[in-house]
């Protein structure tokens, strides 16, 4: 897999329609949540075919959840679990598997997993997850890189205030609280649309949750959860990625299966840059960008509903060929500019000073051999290669395959000269 390359010849205008896949960052916590359902099946529609989702299915299977995929539908049955341990190899594959902790603990009273490794974005601490679960009565021993967790008397709901609206910590507390004794209140919780989608899933399973999407979530514990049928929300970051692919080639695209309301922080900036974007029908977004775009005003990444950190690299790629100077401030992750060096190899003019990146727009980029450094950094290289003069060869595709389903097929069918070898 790692020897694979995307070969992209830039300069082609993209025209046509791309159908979005379901949201990776919603499917993952929802697959963790299926562990909580002690009777009947969960039918999860619009579940994207991504390597991260496959990893989550392997973890669920290792716990004894019966999982099968039929196209974009995944069916799970967690009526009889056989383990409370997440194999180390699987924890290493995907650090967000820490979100299984709350669900396994709530369902079995035990959980053993290895500390999730850091990743390309810097150390990925889980202190907020662990302190919250301890406040709910979990006993968690950290030794030799393992977390050994138990709650012999079950978990008890309590009031938790997060020092940072962490997405993963909010999800872990929701998964722990939905079967806890009493009521759990999470203050300063994450407000991302994926939190809403997870709450919708849990409520369909019989959970009692109020306030998802606001900064206070109230969960009233119930005894058991049943399975349900749920459709995963659209992937808002994939939507931004394809919109930027259309804009950077001066093309004309329709993204279908989208929710424009989830990405207004990004499309607002793209309109100011000169893109013409509007949503129509139930779930379609239209974009054209004929003339050279202006640099974006200062882009500060923030928790939702602010500008999403996952879109920073992707919008930066678009701004490398816009007119003027763009300023990016990455406030969420410590090390999320690893794509800058690769964009500079393509002729971009970007300077990084701490958490600030200054992008001087250039007339054009030139194709080069580049390497994806992380999931969204890889997507940024695809955006840049689509407008670069000549051919680019992008490696590190395992990063891109974690979050994008059929990216080369999607782009080829709207006119890109792209192939995977
Ligand atoms: C989720 O990661 C997403 N992943 C990330 O998307 C996304 O970038 C991030 O939220 C922010 O929106 C999934 O949903 C699977 P956080 P998560 O906890 O939950 C610090 C992608 O590209 N922090 O909100 O890990 C942390 O270090 C991925 O799809 C603590 O300090 O994000 C980071 O600086 C990348 N202690 C910040 O909070 C903790 O206990 C945001 O982390 C937890 C987090």
> From ligand 1's centre to the CA of 310, what distance in Å?
10
What pLDDT, in 10s, does the model give residues 219-268? Answer: 999 999 999 999 999 999 999 999 999 999 999 999 999 999 999 999 99
Structural tokens at position 257: 């299966």
Angle CA(28)–CA(302)–CA(202) in degrees, nearest 5? Answer: 30
Using most ligand atoms within 8 A of CB, pick from 93, 119, 134, 167 the residue to mutate for ligand 1: 167
Nearest ligand 1 atom, CA 168: 19
| pLDDT, tens only, 39-70 | 999 999 999 999 999 999 999 999 999 999 99
CA torsion angle 43 46 47 51 (round to 10): 160
387 is catalytic: no
Share of the chain above pLDDT 90, in %: 91
Domain 6-20+234-420: homologous superfamily in CATH: Enolpyruvate transferase domain (3.65.10.10)
- Residue 128 CA to ligand 1 center (angstroms) comes to 11
- Quote the ligand 1 centre to 168 CA distance (angstroms): 6
- The full DSSP string for 390-409 is SEEEEE-HHHHHHH-SSHHH
Predicted local confidence at residue 110, as pLDDT = 97
Q: Which residues contact 195 (CB under 8 A, 6 or more apart)?
A: 167, 170, 171, 174, 189, 212, 213, 217
φ/ψ of residue 378, rounded to 5: -65, -40
User: What tokens were used for 401?
Assistant: 């395959």
Task: Quote the radius of gyration of the chain (alpha carbons, Å).
Answer: 21
Q: Where in the chain is the domain with CATH 3.65.10.10?
A: 6-20+234-420, 24-231
42, 111, 119, 275: the catalytic one is 119
The answer to whether residue 280 scores a pLDDT higher than 80 is yes
Residue with the smallest CA separation from ligand 1 atom 26 is 124
Predicted confidence at residue 118, as pLDDT, reads: 61
pLDDT at 390 over 60: yes
CATH number of 24-231: 3.65.10.10
Average pLDDT of the chain is 96
Sheet with 356-360, edge to edge strand ranges:
299-300, 325-329, 356-360, 349-353
Angstrom distance (rounded) from CA 373 to CA 253: 27
Give ligand 1 pocket residues (Cβ under 6 A): 24-25, 28, 96, 124-129, 164, 166-169, 309-310, 332-333, 375-376, 403
Residues in the chain: 421
How much is the pTM?
A: 0.97
Compute the average pLDDT of residues 136-160: 94
Phi, psi (deg, nearest 5) at residue 220: -100, 115
**Mean pLDDT across 112-129:** 81
**Rounded to whole angstroms, how far apart are CA atoms 208 and 218?**
8
pLDDT tens-digit readout, 331-364? 999 889 999 999 999 999 999 999 999 999 999 9
pLDDT above 90 (res 121) = no
Q: What is the pLDDT of residues 180-212, one digit of tens each?
A: 999 999 999 999 999 999 999 999 999 999 999
Minimum CA distance residue for ligand 1 atom 34:
333
Ligand 1 atom at shortest distance from the alpha carbon of 122: 27
């Amino acid at each position: 897999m790692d020897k694979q390359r995307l070969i992209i010849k830039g300069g082609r205008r993209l025209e046509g329609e791309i159908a979005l896949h379901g949201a990776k960052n919603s499917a993952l916590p929802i697959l963790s949540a299926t562990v909580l359902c002690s009777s009947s099946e969960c039918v999860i529609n619009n579940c994207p075919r991504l390597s991260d989702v496959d990893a989550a299915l392997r973890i669920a299977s290792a716990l004894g959840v019966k999982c099968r995929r039929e196209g974009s539908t995944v069916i799970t049955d967690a009526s009889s679990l056989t383990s409370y341990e997440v194999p180390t190899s699987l924890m290493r594959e995907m650090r967000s598997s820490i979100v299984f902790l709350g669900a396994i603990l709530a369902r079995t009273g035990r959980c053993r997993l290895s500390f999730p490794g850091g990743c390309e974005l810097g150390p990925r601490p889980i202190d907020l997850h662990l302190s919250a679960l301890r406040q709910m009565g979990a006993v968690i021993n950290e030794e030799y890189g393992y977390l050994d967790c138990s709650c012999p008397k079950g978990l008890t709901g309590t009031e938790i205030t997060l020092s940072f609206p962490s997405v993963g910590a909010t999800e872990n507390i929701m998964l722990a609280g939905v079967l806890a004794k009493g009521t759990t209140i999470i203050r300063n919780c994450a407000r991302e649309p994926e939190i809403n989608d997870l709450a919708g899933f849990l409520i369909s399973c019989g959970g009692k949750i109020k306030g998802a999407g606001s900064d206070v979530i109230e969960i009233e514990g119930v005894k058991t959860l049943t399975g349900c049928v749920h459709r995963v929300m659209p992937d808002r970051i994939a939507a931004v990625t394809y919109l930027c692919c259309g804009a950077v080639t001066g093309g004309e695209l329709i993204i279908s299966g989208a929710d424009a309301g989830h990405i207004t922080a990004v499309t607002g900036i793209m309109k100011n840059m000169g893109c013409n974007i509007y949503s129509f029908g139930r779930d379609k977004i239209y974009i054209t960008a004929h003339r050279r775009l202006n640099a974006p005003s200062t882009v500060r990444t923030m928790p939702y509903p602010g500008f999403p950190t996952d879109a920073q690299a992707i919008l930066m790629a678009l701004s490398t060929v816009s007119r003027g100077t763009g300023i990016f401030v990455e406030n969420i992750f410590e090390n999320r500019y690893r794509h800058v060096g690769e964009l500079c190899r393509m002729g971009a003019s970007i300077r990084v000073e701490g958490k600030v990146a200054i992008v001087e727009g250039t007339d054009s980029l030139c194709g080069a051999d580049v390497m994806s450094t992380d999931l969204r950094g890889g997507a940024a290289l695809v955006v840049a290669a689509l407008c670069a003069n000549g051919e680019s060869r992008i490696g590190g595709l395992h990063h891109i395959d974690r979050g994008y389903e059929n990216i080369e097929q999607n782009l080829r069918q709207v006119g890109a000269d792209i192939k995977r070898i």
